Each structure stands twice: as structure tokens, then as C-alpha cells.
Amino acid sequence: MRILVSGGGVAGLSAGIDLVAGGHDVTLVERSDHLRVNGSPIDIRGESIGVAEEMGVLGQIRARRIGMSERIEFVDASDRILAELAADEVNDTAGDVEIPREDLVTILRAALPAATPLIFGESIVELHDDGAGVDVRFSSGTSDRFDLVVGADGMHSATRRLVFGPEHLFLRHLGFYTAIAALPPRARRDGRNSMFNLPGLMSGITGYQDKALAVFLFRSPWIDYDYRDLDAQKRILTDVFAGQRDWRVGELLEAALADAELYFDSVSQIDMDAWHRGRAVLVGDAAYCASPLSGRGTSLALTGAWFLAEALREHPDDVERAFAQYERLQRPHVLRAQATAAPGGDLLAPPTPEAIDARNERLRTASR
Ligand SMILES: Cc1cc2nc3c(=O)[nH]c(=O)nc-3n(C[C@H](O)[C@H](O)[C@H](O)COP(=O)(O)OP(=O)(O)OC[C@H]3O[C@@H](n4cnc5c(N)ncnc54)[C@H](O)[C@@H]3O)c2cc1C
């Protein structure tokens, strides 16, 4: 089949690799003009480790594996440690393989056969599914026809909007926003992961290898803005932390403002009863975003792409049956991942001074 994949993240690249391996003629389009490789390290866990092996990339992933520091320190304005937390209490990291997001995306890009087009600066603007195929119009003005369209274009998926309806029907905001920016390596002292809280706000420094990252998490109701507008994202972040210069908050905000690749998004989940309609199907965050607090989004993207390609291999003449099989096999992983996301936010960004003190006291008691 001729298959269009929208999105060049972990889900899109994995779908590309798996569908080409299944004998399909695949084209990928990525809205950005380059691979988006930034972000904090991500975990590959559970069944997705076996999937990476089947895809032929597990050896390279293991070779780039990193060991993140096990502990998070909560500090006061004078950088004194108030309480410590084992990282696996934020999300369970037992048995996983941790790898910089940039390395995983680069490995997957290299595993995509050279003959498979990956077109940057391109996205779908219109889809028409007539039952026998899908006519697609692109932002560049060109048109083409495909047998299937795979939407792997992330939490704010354009494919989902065009096929299933507006985002608000499917997005469940968990009450937090997060941002990640690059810091100069020297900003991270002694390999520490230090987090500083104000009520409802967390800013911190983490890192891996020689990299340092500024991380932010804050409580907020849903904010209406153009999620593609980097300046708007930076404005929101500076407004939320307005006037806050305690600890190293000022330095971290400056780094965020200077970062052309700042990652900023709501902490949300995508809930859908069905991930396919007609000849269009969604994989990864587009279909079942579990939020960064779950630590499982990348694993879901890997297994989802794999189950989809497998199902199409097993039911080459029955797309509806193949999509149903994909959903049946993937859904239990999604339910488990989404269920793990909520507690991390309360731990990292308690809402009031009393809740911050209570969290610290609880962690001190636990470590004693
Ligand atoms: C830059 C970036 C940084 C991230 N950092 C973190 C992190 O630090 N921690 C964490 O837990 N998760 C992070 N994530 C999310 C994480 O990558 C995903 O949860 C997970 O890997 C599943 O990936 P996905 O491919 O489904 O979605 P994404 O990783 O969101 O990939 C979607 C891709 O589709 C592209 N795209 C978007 N819209 C369109 C469109 N209309 N047409 C074509 N292409 C489009 C995007 O540019 C992106 O490359 C990050 C995502 C991105 C894009």
C-alpha cells in the first residue's frame, strides 16, 4: 500500500520503519524544517524493549543508554537540601532503558531506509477519504493520493483534528504545564538534580552526560494560545514566574528565553474511544498521549507503531480488521501508562506553602 505518515517524531519514524519492513511504500511528512531532537532523556520500557529489538535498533539504543542520577533534591532559596526523592518515585523506572531523546530520534532516522521520503516543512491541510483511498492536500500546495494515512503528529495532531474533530473533544488537561530548555553544561553542579518550589511552581536543573537542562513545571488551568507560537510560550513562562528571582530562577528563565528549541506544552492526555476512522489511523501521542509525567509516551509510540504494522501484515486485505487488532493489542498498554501519570505533578509542584512543607516532611521521614 501507499501510506502517508504525518509526523517525524518517535511514533512517525517507528511507523515508517515498521511499515516499510512490511513491504509498504511509505512517505513521511514533518511540519518542522528539521528533526526535533531536544527534550529530556526518555525511557524505553516493558514490551517496547522487545519491539526495539525486532526493529533492529535495540543494540544501538543500549550503546547510547545513560544512567540518570537516581535522586532529585528539593532545595530552598539558599540551595540547602530540604528533602530528597528517588527518581523512580516520580515514575517507576525499574527495568527500563534510558536514552537521550536526541539519540533515539537519530537512531530511528538512520534506521528508516534511505529510499523512504521524509519531507521536512510539510504538513497535511486537507484529507478526503472516499473509501478506496485518501486524497491529501499539503501545506506546500501539492496533492497526492494514498491508501492509508497514519497520523503520528503528536498531542496537537492535525490529522486527528481533520479526521476526528477539534482537540478539546479528546484532550484532558491534567492541570500543569511543563517546559525544558538547554543550559550551559557548567550550570549543573556536581551532577545534582536540584528543584526549587514556590507554591504551584517548580523550576530546576537536571542533566545527563555533559548536558544540563532547565526544567519547569507549574500548575495552571488550560491556557488558550497558539501552541506553535514559541514567543507566546516564552511569554507564558515569564508571566507565570514574573518577579521570581529566588534561588536560580532568573538564570533558568533567561536560558528558556534564549532557547530556540524550547519545549513547552500542557501536561495533558489524549483519550479516544477509537484511533481509526476509514483509512486514517493515529499512533503515539496523537492517539493516546499519556503526558510526560507518565514516562511512557515513547514506549507507547514504539509498541503502537509495531502493533499497527503487524496488524496490517496479518490482514493485508482488511484494513478495518487490522486497525481493530492494533487497537485491541495497544489499548491495555495505554490504559496502564495513562493511569500512572497523575501523582508525579503533586509531588513535584505542591500547590501551597503548607503542601510544600508537608511533602518535604514526608520525604524526610521516609528516608529516615
Ligand atoms: C521537541 C520535543 C521535545 C519533547 N521532550 C519531551 C520530554 O522532555 N519529556 C517527555 O516525556 N516527552 C517529551 N516529548 C514528547 C515525547 O517525544 C512523546 O511523548 C513520545 O515520544 C511519543 O512521540 P510522538 O512521535 O507520538 O509525538 P512527538 O514526539 O510529539 O512527535 C510528533 C512529531 O510530529 C511533528 N508534527 C506536529 N504537527 C505536525 C503536522 N501537522 N504535520 C507534520 N508533522 C507534525 C512534530 O514536529 C514532531 O516531530 C517531546 C516532544 C517533542 C516534539
Q: What separation in angstroms does the CA of 209 have from each of 23, 68, 188, 368?
A: 38, 9, 11, 30
- Residue 189: the pLDDT is 81
DSSP per position, 203-231: EEEEEETTEEEEEEEEE-----S-TT-HH
Q: Would you state the cell numbers that stand for residue 42, as one nine-digit string?
A: 526518555
Running along the chain, 368 residues long, what does each successive block of 10 average in pLDDT?
Answer: 98 98 98 90 91 96 82 94 80 74 96 97 98 97 98 98 98 96 88 93 92 95 94 96 92 95 96 98 98 92 98 96 98 94 84 96 90
- Residue 90: the pLDDT is 58
Q: Whose CA is nearest to atom 28 of ligand 1?
A: 154
Class of domain 2-64+97-170+270-339: alpha beta
C-beta of 175 in contact with ligand 1 (< 6 A): no
C-beta of 101 in contact with ligand 1 (< 6 A): yes
| 230 alpha carbon – ligand 1 mean position (Å) | 15
Q: Are 16 and 116 in contact (CB under 8 A)?
A: yes
Q: Are 334 and 274 in contact (CB under 8 A)?
A: no
For 161, residues 6+ apart whose C-beta sits below 8 A from its C-beta are 167
- How far apart, in whole angstroms, are the C-alpha atoms of residue 14 and residue 32? 18
Q: Whose CA is nearest to atom 21 of ligand 1?
A: 298
C-beta of 36 in contact with ligand 1 (< 6 A): yes
**What is the CATH number assigned to the segment(s) 71-94+173-268+342-367?**
3.30.9.30
Q: Are 108 and 60 in contact (CB under 8 A)?
A: no
C-beta of 298 in contact with ligand 1 (< 6 A): yes
- Residue 91: the pLDDT is 54
Query: Same topology for domains 2-64+97-170+270-339 and 71-94+173-268+342-367, yes or no?
Result: no
- Neighbour order of strands in the sheet with 171-183: 81-86, 71-75, 194-198, 201-208, 211-219, 171-183, 263-270
Closest C-alpha to 338, from 133, 172, 142, 213: 172
- Residue 87: the pLDDT is 67
C-beta of 12 in contact with ligand 1 (< 6 A): yes
Which numbered atom of ligand 1 lies nearest the CA of 13?
25
- Residue 166: the pLDDT is 97
Q: Whose CA is nearest to atom 30 of ligand 1?
A: 154
C-beta of 98 in contact with ligand 1 (< 6 A): no
Domain ranges across the chain = 2-64+97-170+270-339, 71-94+173-268+342-367
